[in-house]
Structure 1
């Protein structure tokens, strides 16, 4: 019962916050510094989700060696992204390296 109430409460709070933003619309103006800071939120959240999955894929500590396919693929994808600035190429190369490296290591 406690978990259900927690989920319902979180849903209500999320709905309330989003509803306020839609109701107030353009009547609320954020200061330029806050708007600039909010622009970094998606990148920060995505980084916070992805980095632990890359560095500790099994959740038992850091795996910083070449036996970690996630780390190898992320490093190659970062290099491709820096060189080409092409999202689709980065995704394709990253996934290809990940699955290829995993196949070579674990057959």
Structure 2
């Protein structure tokens, strides 16, 4: 299992704490340090939808002007933006056996999917 995120994110911390408490082994992929590929983003877009993967509640997105936000209106433009601005990816994203299975942290969904 791979957990994608950034270590100083509170939602990522909750997720990692939950996994550790349930003794679930995982590898952590810090996309601030390791980045993320367009192919990986496309996989996540297929699993969750591109507008879900794009974190519009975060500071990175909110720093954009209304015009810049409006210009990110397709999966291709979202990929360009997210590969350059990984902190705008909703996190964490959890992959199990190569498939994206969870995004963000919701204890009930974690129990259903991983518990």
Q: TM-score, normalised by structure 1?
A: 0.22
**Structure of greater Rg:** 1
Q: Which has the higher contact order (CA 8 A, sep 6+)?
A: 2
Q: TM-score, normalised by structure 2?
A: 0.22
